[in-house]
Amino acid sequence: MKFSILIPAYNEEQAISSCLNSLTSLTYDNKEIFVIDDASTDRTTQIVERFLHNGVVLVRCEKNGGRAAALNFGLQKATGDVIITTDADTVVPADWLQRFKPHFEEQGVVAVGGAYRAGNRDKTLANASSVLDYLLNGIGKKSLVPNKLSGVNSAIRRDALVDLGGFNENAWWCEDSELGWKLSERARIVYDPSNVVSTQYPDTWSGIWRRKFYWGYAMGLKFHGQLPLNLRLWIRPVLFIVLFACLFASLATIPYGMRVYFVPGSIFLLLLSILTVVYVPLGIIVMARMGDSTGISLKTLAVLAVLPLVREFAYVYGMWLGYYRGRLSSIRPSWKE
């Protein structure tokens, strides 16, 4: 089985060297590595050229078209049975491809998604976000979100990908999610939480807000004008809409006395305490399982207690705007956050 690894890159001079060092150290031989440079304006291409003698192929786009367009350009060059996607700021384990291969030997499997964690776990916000994503994506093989494919750690059979027309260049910020939904309607997708890569996370509150807002916006844009029928899409929005509705109601009713304030305030505190009780202990378990005992700090756990509120509010707010008033031009100018 031959694997084709596609790495879209735009102005990644700070990170791409570590990514390519890990990819050229893979212990699986039957592979090809493509870096698709999306018209970078920094030294990305010069750095990639240092790895050409190690089997890396540099593909240049004449103009900046976005991640999905870069992936489609690379797909045209790829000859492998399985297409693997990752990002230029991601580091992969040496046995990465060996972990993918057994799943494709199972009957009916067309795609495999792996897990990811923060490569910059020394940053408190990045570490807490990484733990939270690991929880939402599922410690086991059942995910709490309706998509098992991540752009930084996914493998798809080439024939299935070509049959779908490749990556949707209009699904800005969520081409991996849309691909996962389309593939799941046709065949089987496997999620392997033991196949973990390290990628860079936002380490500021503004960066976290921006990422989740645009992911939500892109998700709302996808369903603009239609009602999504996948129930798991509604779990997080409904939960946090109720949570923030209770918070707003409790604050608005303070002037009317304890009797009026008590009901919404109690519901808000109950939901918040449940989230805290769930996320913090599970966060400790996840950090221990990820071999990150040094990251189990009170500061990280404190952030983990409030981080879901901030992220999900940004996500739901973005989804609402995208669903009701979404325009692709609102998010298209940014290749990455």
Q: Which residues contact 172 (CB under 8 A, 6 or more apart)?
A: 66, 68, 218, 221, 328, 331, 332
Q: Look up residue 103 and give its two tokens.
A: 């799943």
Residue-wise burial string across 112-136, b where 16 or more C-beta atoms lie within 10 A, e elsewhere: bbbbbbbbbbebbbbbbbbbbbbbb
Q: Hey, how many other C-beta atoms are within 10 angstroms of the C-beta on 52?
A: 11
Q: State how far the Cα of 132 lies from the Cα of 290, in Å rounded to an integer.
A: 13
DSSP 226: S
Task: Write the CA distances from 169 to 8, 11, 67, 72, 164, integer angstroms.
Answer: 13, 19, 8, 8, 12
Q: State how far the Cα of 62 lies from the Cα of 152, in Å rounded to an integer.
A: 24
pLDDT of residue 301: 73
Residue-wise burial string across 196-212, b where 16 or more C-beta atoms lie within 10 A, e elsewhere: bbbbbbbbeeeebbbbb
Ramachandran sector of residue 153 (left: φ over 0; alpha: ψ -120 to 50; beta: rest): beta
Q: State how far the Cα of 67 lies from the Cα of 239, in Å rounded to an integer.
A: 31
pLDDT of residue 267: 65
The amino acid occupying position 135 is L
pLDDT of residue 286: 57
**Cβ(57)–Cβ(32) under 8 Å?**
yes
Among 33, 158, 32, CA closest to 83: 158
The C-alpha R_g of the chain, in whole angstroms, comes to: 21
**Cβ(15)–Cβ(89) under 8 Å?**
yes
Q: Look up residue 108 and give its two tokens.
A: 């009916």
pLDDT of residue 103: 94
**Cβ(32)–Cβ(78) under 8 Å?**
yes
Beta strand segments in 154-276, E: 154-157, 188-199
The pair phi, psi for residue 321, each rounded to 5°, is -65, -40
Specify the 3-state DSSP secondary structure of 128: helix
**Cβ(137)–Cβ(115) under 8 Å?**
yes
10-residue averages of pLDDT along the chain (337 residues): 95 94 95 95 95 94 88 94 95 96 91 89 85 68 59 92 85 69 81 89 90 80 61 64 68 63 62 58 58 61 78 81 65 47
pLDDT of residue 335: 45
